[in-house]
Amino acid sequence: MSAFWFFARQMLRRRATVAWAFVFALISAGGLGVGLLSLGPLLKSILQGDSLVDQAVAHNQQDHWLTIPAGFIAKLPTDQFQGVLLIIGLIAFLTVFGGIANFMHQFISQTLATTTIARIRRDVFRHVVHMPLTRVIQRGPSEFIARMIRDAAELQRGLIALVSKSVTHVLKGLAAFIAALIIHWPLTLAATIAAPLMAIVLRKLGKRIRRGTRGALEAQEGLLRVATETLHGLRAVKANTGERQVGNWFHRINKKVVSAELRVRTARALTAPLSETLAVFVIGGLAVAAAKLIIEGSLPIEKFILALGALAVAGASFRPLAGLVNEMHAAAAPAERLADILAEQRETQRAMKMPKLPAHRRSIELDAVTMIYPGADRPALENVSLTIEHGQRVAIVGPNGSGKTTLVSLIPRLLQPKAGRVLIDGIDINSVNLRSLRRQIGVVTQETVLFRGTIAENIAFGAGLVRREQIVDAARRAHAEEFILEIPGGYEANIAEQGASLSGGQRQRLAIARAILRNPTILILDEATSQIDAESESLINKALAEFCQGRTSLLIAHRLSTVLNADRIIVMESGRIVAEGTHDELLTTCDLYQRLTQTQLIGST
């Protein structure tokens, strides 16, 4: 439960709100207690015929610690029926007043729980997007999505059970219990013998509920993963007639979810019957003891009725606590899973305090770099050393899996090498502010990522505050403005999820415009023109040739025109650099490059 209480304590950030919620709960419970105590004079008036004045005088004669002032007694009605009406009116007033206070408590408490969960979701999301890329890939995006959405919702139920429902029931139960003590304390204390036993039962059932809930949440991650992958790849599913297969995958994981959730049912189902059984036995025992005292004349019947009634109200208030405790135990499992995420190392934890990287002006150097992906059996890069001078346009070629994308991903620190260093102008990039490093780099990948929003918002993504003229200029230089203006709404047109409303070439030109807008000193193009026709490629290559002037450019290439326009070509195979030089030099000295030009490097004619 430690993780649950960690998140519960976050509600204390709004101390004034917590205080008001408690005050209104206290008022509501206090009204209940006073109402129960006022039933004593009511019963005496009805059963014994005593007026309120007679009862007040008799009270003072018994030398109680609380004396009723004579002035107050003088104002009480002497008529028995009027006294009954006064007490009923008082009880009605307390009921309405307590109801209003209870409403305010519920309103404030649920607002507090909801806003706290919103803050927790925000913190978890920010933490995930600042985690190392390899860690997110290793665990899978669906796991984090499930925890941010489903686990946060389950935790919210636990927090509402704690601050909204439990506080009300506990205070009302205590108020009724105190009233019962005032009425007849020996009988009331005898009724508490079941409390320790009930606490033990709830503790054992709570552990089982917590373990079962964690298993169910883990199974639901798999369900979300299958659903997300299927719907994102629905085109491929339909094209390959894979509907039945993905349906079977979903069905199998769905059965695991059901099995995990059913494991919790026994513990949840046992809670209420056990509580009720214990309560019946306690009430039966009290009835036997009270009957003996009444027969002997040592317990007035009206005190027994009032004490039993107050205890019944206390029991009715405490009874839902068993279910609420179950909800809090169930919320402990998602709280632990959310806490696990927040315990993960952020890539910016140390880097934000480091000095900024000066503008790149001299060179980029990879010094004996080795990179191994988690779970891989061989390095993606092995002892790679490379120096690129400022302003050079370097093409990187090689067969699939040779390490091209891994190599360029090291420069913006998207990946962290197991050994070796990456230096920019002689400065180890691990020793500088991460944001200052990445703001100098523009990246365009083969898989273009676009977000829901307007075309202008997607071009300006990550660039901060920019003027409209800058967005338009970047689109023109990327040769994207022509198709943008043909779309209804132009730059303000909304893009469908993942850019599904645009062609592959259009999406890539927007990505290139996004990189141009950043005005980077280093430009990385990872097969950025792979989905562009030859005519568009020619125009974009001209734009890139102009834009790359004075900038260091690394291009993972699959088109021959890109390679021919490079100042230098790096050939990779199996995580190593096997050759480098110009196109003509490599054709005569590198057999692998010769094969690549014949099989993989596509001409632009």
Q: What is the 3-state secondary structure (H, E, C) of 144-155?
A: HHHHHHHHHHHH
- The 10s digit of each residue's pLDDT in 55-75 is 555 555 565 555 666 666 666
**Which residue in 420, 442, 425, 339 sits closest to 390, CA to CA?**
425
Distance of alpha carbon 33 from alpha carbon 324, whole angstroms? 23
- Supply φ then ψ for residue 418, to 5 degrees: -75, -30
Please indicate, yes or no, if residue 205 is contained in any of the structural domains: yes
Please indicate, yes or no, if residue 273 is contained in any of the structural domains: yes
Please indicate, yes or no, if residue 549 is contained in any of the structural domains: no
Please indicate, yes or no, if residue 436 is contained in any of the structural domains: no
Distance of alpha carbon 48 from alpha carbon 43, whole angstroms? 8
E strand map for 372-463? 381-389, 393-397, 419-424, 427-428, 441-444, 453-454
Last residue of a domain, one of 342, 373, 403: 342
Query: Cβ contacts of residue 13 below 8 Å, gap of 6+?
Result: 116
Residues in the chain with pLDDT < 50?
Answer: 351, 604-605
DSSP 8-state assignment for residue 378: S
Distance of alpha carbon 577 from alpha carbon 407, whole angstroms? 10
Distance of alpha carbon 179 from alpha carbon 229, whole angstroms? 60
Last residue of a domain, one of 494, 519, 544: 519
Predicted pLDDT at 605: 40
Predicted pLDDT at 420: 93
Q: Is the dihedral of CA 338, 344, 347, 350 positive or negative?
A: positive
- The 10s digit of each residue's pLDDT in 75-101 is 666 666 676 677 777 777 877 888 888
Predicted pLDDT at 424: 93
Please indicate, yes or no, if residue 376 is contained in any of the structural domains: no
Please indicate, yes or no, if residue 435 is contained in any of the structural domains: no
Please give the model's pTM, rounded to 2 decimal places.
0.73
| CB contact at 8 A, 32 and 172 | yes
Distance of alpha carbon 308 from alpha carbon 421, whole angstroms? 78
Q: In whole numbers, what is the pLDDT of the chain averaged over residues?
A: 79
Work out the angle at residue 22's Cα, subtended by the Cα atoms of residues 21 and 25, and round it to the nearest 5 degrees.
90
Which amino acid, 99?
G
Q: What's the token pair of residue 301?
A: 């019947």
| DSSP three-state, residue 579 | strand
Please indicate, yes or no, if residue 186 is contained in any of the structural domains: yes
Helix, strand, coil shares of the chain as percentages rounded to 5?
A: 65, 10, 25
Last residue of a domain, one of 342, 365, 399: 342
The CATH number of residue 143's host domain is: 1.20.1560.10
Distance of alpha carbon 593 from alpha carbon 602, whole angstroms? 13
Distance of alpha carbon 44 from alpha carbon 66, whole angstroms? 19
Please indicate, yes or no, if residue 599 is contained in any of the structural domains: no
Note whether 476 and 333 are same-domain residues. no
Predicted pLDDT at 604: 46
Distance of alpha carbon 323 from alpha carbon 329, whole angstroms? 10
The CATH number of residue 479's host domain is: 3.40.50.300
Domain holding 489, by residue range, is 447-519
Number of structural domains in the chain: 2
| CB contact at 8 A, 21 and 166 | no
Which amino acid, 243?
E
First to last CA, the chain: 66
Distance of alpha carbon 461 from alpha carbon 454, whole angstroms? 10
Note whether 468 and 320 are same-domain residues. no
Predicted pLDDT at 171: 81
